[in-house]
Amino acid sequence: MSRIESVFKQKNHKALIAYVTVGYPSIEATLKVVPLLAECGCDIVELGIPFSDPMADGATIQRASFKALENGVHTALCLATAKKLSKKTSIPLVFMTYFNPIYQYGLAKFCNDCVASGIDGLIVPELPPEEGDELENLTGKSGVDLIYLLAPTSVEERIKLVAHKSRGFIYLVSIAGVTGTRTELPPELGKFILKVKQFAKQPVCVGFGISTPEQAAQVAQNADGVIIGSRLIQLMETDDAAMTATQMFVKETRKALDSIKV
Amino acid sequence: MVEKQGYFGNYGGRFVPETLVPALDELTTVYQALENDTAFWQEFQSLCHYYIGRPTPLYFAERLTAHCGGAKIFLKREDLAHTGAHKINNAVGQALLTKKLGKKRIIAETGAGQHGVATAAVAALMGMECVIYMGSDDIERQKLNVFRMRLMGAEVRPVSSGSRTLKDAINEAFRDWVSNVSTTHYLMGSVVGPHPYPAMVRDFQSVIGKETREQSLKDYQRLPDYIVACVGGGSNSMGIFYPFLNDKDVKLVGVEAAGHGLETGEHAATLAKGTLGVLHGAKSYVLQDKDGQILATHSISAGLDYPGVGPEHSFLKDSGRATYASITDKEALEGFQLLCRTEGIIPALESSHAIAHTVKMAPTLKKDQIIVINLSGRGDKDLDIVNQALGAKQ
């Protein structure tokens, strides 16, 4: 069982997954915030490797990516940062990035270096299973979970395909859209999660748009976990040095998830 | 040739968020079904004739030929097509396709504004809602086209992220599409992007090459020796190249933008200086740094100012079936002025790259040889830029 899978084996526990862009607002901030996120109740942290053309991201993560690139962040530095983080925290770490940065790094070398840096999984938002053969092979050999995504537009055939191929969990995109906070989630989301769960042997986690503890709890009624990105980035943008607001938000979200009767 | 669906050799594919995959599947199905849809092609041809004004002439540029003193130079006059460039061919085709998809909203990206204008025109023609994404830098340098789009009822949304040019406009169009995919068709303007766009756009644009071939045979009883066309994303060049791919004696030459010079790093010559990468949904040559970040490009012509290139061009380059040259801003401006003065034709700065390269080639060839330049657009939109560039010099 992979370290990611074992997160979901805890009884009566909904997973809380956080996303941060590596190097935003600084590498030091990333090194500081990830262990805090773990302490406040995050089960997994996604580390975003910034890309110059983030087509699946809304304004918040775009801004974070551009700033991180200005700060000189690149793939090797993200791997080095992950290595430091994996010594500071025991929760699973997952890279989330677009295909081109890791393609240039060399897919095989990247997978090896992920293992050496304590990375447990990989999410590539613009890599559908049809294009994923090579990376599936390499991650499979390295023991890195390649996590595929599903969207509200996915038909049954594609749900089956992703359920067959995704490792660790399935990343279910809550809405047809880009990343970013939303005041409301689509009413049909709950039904869609249940439909995916009919086919999925692995856990199903929902991301995109989740911005409040209430939304997290609502989604986790049906899902095995929730993923929060843009909201955390926004909090970090204005937070104090101790990251008080970020910690408080994560704790409240943890509490909301723990209050769900399973 | 296509080993895997949507691939040209090692290039192409479909690197897009899952949300878009079903829409691309649907688009592929509808597009493939067109092959046997005579009614569709009749309507397309009818619009090509009555709306676009096709066939565009294959014009013998006698004074330009005399000036160069070598091969005979012909111009395929896409500048005479409705809205002033070849972009309208693909816009009409995809707008008809949008009707088949049952969608009523069209979005598009634009660089120089020619594709935006063409898309705004077909949206007006078919009564569809239209949003055009355009880099804020491009809006600044192509004001006239922005006004034209707005006149025809399109909403032009400035894109101020990244390099504020064509590549960022494409990112933003994808973000719109992913958010509105059930109601909206993304009318991509070049032979780039995920499958089926590179093949589909090429097929709509290949009307240029088909006509050139027929006109050449009818008027001159032979095929050209060379076809020269500029390459940004690569739609006018693919459109004129494609019907000649099996005519092995016809040499195909693409011309990229060398900007301030290939050695300066300020250019948009993707095939000359790029490496294999994935951008905007397809694997192709890409201008990128060692970390896989996409580089900012430079060209005096907004339509060539793009760090990617259509996957089929990458394939043609590797196979050797087409060769690719590059022309600097300065050379393009000279080509621009030369055509103005010898033929009384004001070309687009994009097409001026093809002219400038032809001017270099023609004197080295025999007088009975034929070069066809795809004069992909007219230059009215570029007059401010040219005025500034020449003013700075004089």
- DSSP one-letter string for B207-253: HHHHHHHHHHHHHHSS--SEEEEE-SS-HHHHHHHGGGTT-TTSEEE
Is A176 part of a structural domain of the chain?
Answer: no
Q: Give the one of B178, B290, B294 whose C-beta lies nearest to A53's C-beta.
A: B294
Is A98 part of a structural domain of the chain?
Answer: yes
Is A228 part of a structural domain of the chain?
Answer: yes
Shortest CA distance from A176: residue in chain B: B179
Exposed, middle or buried by CB within 10 Å (0-12, 13-18, 19+), for A242? Answer: exposed
* Closest to A134 measured CA to CA, from A160, A159, A106: A106
Is A236 part of a structural domain of the chain?
Answer: yes
d(CA B207, CA B226): 18
Look at B292 and A102 and tell me if their CB atoms are within 8 Å.
yes
Q: Please name the residues in contact with B35: beta carbons below 8 A apart, sequence gap of 6 or more.
A: none
E strand or H helix at A45: strand A44-48
Residues of chain B with pLDDT under 50: 1-3
Tokens of A256: 């909301």
d(CA A80, CA A101): 15
Is A65 part of a structural domain of the chain?
Answer: yes
| Digitized pLDDT (tens) for each residue of chain A, 262 residues in all | 899 999 999 999 999 999 999 999 999 999 999 999 999 999 999 999 999 999 999 999 999 999 999 999 999 999 999 999 999 999 999 999 999 999 999 999 999 999 999 999 999 999 999 999 999 999 999 999 999 999 999 999 999 999 999 999 999 999 999 999 899 999 999 999 999 999 999 999 999 999 999 999 999 999 999 999 999 999 999 999 999 999 999 999 999 999 997 6
Tokens of B370: 């034929």
Q: What's the CATH number where A231 sits?
A: 3.20.20.70
Look at A102 and B281 and tell me if their CB atoms are within 8 Å.
no
DSSP E strands in chain B: the ranges are 7-8, 11-12, 58-60, 72-77, 105-110, 129-135, 155-159, 184-186, 226-230, 251-259, 275-279, 282-286, 322-328, 370-375
**Each residue of B39-52: pLDDT tens digit?**
999 999 999 999 99
3-state secondary structure of A116: helix
Shortest CA distance from B286: residue in chain A: A100
Dihedral sign, Cα of residue B134, residue B137, residue B139, residue B142: negative
Mind telling me the catalytic residues of B?
Answer: 87, 109, 376
Q: Considering only CB atoms, which chain B residues are within 8 Å of A62?
A: 161
Shortest CA distance from B171: residue in chain A: A55
pTM of the model: 0.97
Report the gap between the CA of A79 and the closest CA in chain B (Å): 13
Look at A101 and B161 and tell me if their CB atoms are within 8 Å.
no
What is the span of the domain harbouring residue A129?
14-147+210-256
Chain B contact probe: residue of A79, A131, A147 with most B CBs at under 10 A: A131
Is A69 part of a structural domain of the chain?
Answer: yes
Is A262 part of a structural domain of the chain?
Answer: no
Note if A131 is an active site residue: no
Q: Does B28 touch chain A (CB under 8 A)?
A: no
3-state secondary structure of B286: strand
**Each residue of B229-257: pLDDT tens digit?**
999 999 999 999 999 999 999 999 999 99
Outline where B71-221 has alpha helix (H): 87-101, 114-126, 136-141, 143-151, 166-179, 197-205, 207-220
Q: B13-52 burial, b for 16+ CB within 10 Å, e for fewer? A: bbbbbbbbbbbbbebbebbeebeeeeebeeebeebbeebb
Q: Considering only CB atoms, which chain B residues are within 8 Å of A150?
A: 18
Q: How many domains does chain A have?
A: 1
Interface confidence (ipTM) of the complex: 0.96
Q: Give the one of A55, A74, A153 whose C-beta lies nearest to B22's C-beta.
A: A153
Is A128 part of a structural domain of the chain?
Answer: yes
Q: Please name the residues in contact with A66: beta carbons below 8 A apart, sequence gap of 6 or more.
A: A50, A52, B161, B162
